[in-house]
Amino acid sequence: MNYYGSKFPSGRSLRGQGAALCKEYAYRSLVTVTVHKIVFSRGAKFGIYNPVTRKMVIANSDSTNTLVSLDDYNNGGFKCKAIWASHQQIREAPTHEHWLIPTALRVPEDSSVRLEDTDNSCSPSRTSSSEALRLVHLPTESSPYTVDECLGNVPAIRQRCSDLLESGTRHYHASSPARILYVAQGEVAYAVPRQCDVIVSDKATTCHVLILKSVSDHAAPLVSCAHIDGDRYETCIRDMFRRHQTHHEESADAEMDIHIMGGFGDEHGASRVITSWLVRLLAALAKETQPVFHTTTLGTCAVTSLNHCNDSKYPSPIGRGLAMEMESGRVFLASCDTAVAGPNTVLRSVRLWAPQAQPRLHVIHEAHRDGIIIRPFAYKPFADIGTLLALPDDLLLTYTSTSPDCEQDDFCGALRETLRFLQTVPAASVFGPDLGQPLVYRRTGRLGNRWMLVR
């Protein structure tokens, strides 16, 4: 789910933007050094295809510092062409040279996928150093290949993604015994294991769910979860990392695990914009925070083309909700009934329709303080709210969702409830006359998912 919220009055739908999906072409890489400039060519995603041997051989050229085929060079060469993928149709285009940039993000270590056995990767080759193999490499802005397509060619990432998406969705409801901390669109929450059993966010279509877990020998593990609906939240994501740094500031051995899920091959590419922005930002933050986190691992990356489903009537995401078990750190697909989504979910949805000076993720839970907090915000009915409420469901979807063809059945009902609250309940009656009174809720017991307003 991704509401346009206060952006609706512009009067037109900006439904998500769609993306080319890349068909994989395996190769056997023989690069002998960790050089990251590559040639996209016929028959392979990264490297030169030899039409005689039907193999792809890549080696380093000392003269140009690019990756070229020594076999083809010695045999007089041939005219290379690039493989492009667009909407699952392969077309040929002139040769392009592009850079893969090594980052401080690490590929997840997975005993079932040996890095040295990879046939298809956006990392350096099997004969490169083992350290280089364990670094995530991202394409430059000029590359015809996108971040998600490139990550989909890293076997360990692809395997983790496949394991996640094939494991099924765990559903939480009123009788579920686990203590749930639910994060809605536009929110971020921080917690330690004593505060909840599972942290979760769902209803993501073009939105992305980001979960960070940091551990060290001198502090309890800290987990944060954010539900991100655009590429305008750099300050908020940086603040997430800063809080993790502060939590482990007395440690010299902290480690960070990153898990991302969301997006699909939507019509106008909204998902891909978020994926590219978010992964690149996380790579930059991994480098900047190395003094505290000596390793930052991209543990899960089920995004855009890696989360795309073609089996339904319309393109849609496979996974819509991501959760983490606080103690084990295990991530899995999840969904939640309203009964376990925490207090005052309607008011929290109203926040998406409130004007903001600048986009930000709202902190609803903190590791040093028990309870969910809804901080005051100003809102009032906008001019066309009555018109919007009068629309039939199909038009309401068109004008309010970035992905109207794949929203869940309760989307319109929940949205109408939110708009009626916005229309009939003044902000002053919720947060006080001067809008200065936050709402604070605490669990009614150590177990369960009932919350009580305490102030």
Q: What is the pLDDT of residue 347?
A: 98
% residues pLDDT > 90 (the chain): 65
Average pLDDT over the chain, rounded to an integer: 79
Least-confidence region, from 25-29, 53-57, 207-211, 231-235: 25-29
Domain boundary among 98, 118, 145: 145
Instruction: Specify whether 273 is located in the same domain as 180.
Output: yes
Instruction: Specify whether 381 is located in the same domain as 365.
Output: no
β-pair type (308-309, 316-317) = antiparallel
Is 342 a residue whose pLDDT tops 90? yes
- Which residues are paired to 212 by β-bridges? 224, 258
Could you tell me the CA-to-CA distances from 224 to 160, 164, 189, 212, 433 in Å, in that order?
A: 20, 19, 5, 5, 33
Q: Round to the nearest angstrom and report the end-to-end CA distance of the chain.
A: 30
Instruction: Specify whether 214 is located in the same domain as 351.
Output: yes
Q: Residue 263: which of 210, 340, 316, 227 has the closest Cα?
A: 316
Residue at 256 is within a domain: yes
Instruction: Specify whether 216 is located in the same domain as 314.
Output: yes
Residue at 343 is within a domain: yes
Instruction: Specify whether 176 is located in the same domain as 285.
Output: yes
More confident call, 81 vs 205 = 205
Instruction: Specify whether 196 is located in the same domain as 136.
Output: no
The per-residue pLDDT for range 39-96, each reduced to its tens digit, is 333 233 333 223 333 333 333 333 233 332 323 323 332 222 222 333 233 234 444 4
Residue at 89 is within a domain: yes
- Calculate the dihedral angle through the C-alpha atoms of 387, 393, 398, 401, rounding to the nearest 10 degrees: 100
Dump strand ranges (E) for 140-191.
Answer: 169-172, 180-182, 187-191
Burial of 235 (0-12, 13-18, 19+ CB in 10 A): exposed
Instruction: Specify whether 136 is located in the same domain as 187.
Output: no
Q: What band does 7 get if pLDDT is binned at 50, 70 and 90?
A: very low
Residue at 153 is within a domain: no
Domain boundary among 337, 369, 401: 369
Residue at 63 is within a domain: yes
> pTM of the entire structure?
0.79
* Domain total of the chain: 3
Instruction: Specify whether 125 is located in the same domain as 240.
Output: no
Instruction: Specify whether 76 is located in the same domain as 120.
Output: yes
The per-residue pLDDT for range 390-433, each reduced to its tens digit, is 999 999 999 999 899 999 999 999 999 999 999 999 999 999 99
The per-residue pLDDT for range 360-389, each reduced to its tens digit, is 999 999 999 999 999 999 999 999 999 999
Instruction: Specify whether 135 is located in the same domain as 55.
Output: yes
Note down the domain range covering 105: 37-145
- Inter-residue contact 100 to 137 (CB < 8 Å): yes
Place of tokens 């089996």: 311
Instruction: Specify whether 365 is located in the same domain as 381.
Output: no
Residue at 249 is within a domain: yes
Q: Residue 370: which of 256, 250, 451 has the closest Cα?
A: 451
Instruction: Specify whether 202 is located in the same domain as 280.
Output: yes
Domain boundary among 369, 388, 408: 369
Q: What is the pLDDT of residue 98?
A: 58
Q: Six-digit token pair at 143?
A: 């590359």
Domain containing residue 222: CATH number: 3.30.1330.200
Residue at 27 is within a domain: no
Ordered DSSP codes for 211-265:
EEEEE-SSS--EEEEEEE-SS--HHHHHHHHHHHHHHTTT-SSEEEEEEEEE---
For range 166-193, the mean pLDDT: 97
The per-residue pLDDT for range 284-330, each reduced to its tens digit, is 999 999 989 999 999 999 999 999 998 878 899 999 999 999 999 99
Q: What is the pLDDT of residue 358?
A: 87
Residue at 118 is within a domain: yes
Measured distance CA(186)–CA(228) in Å, rounded:
6
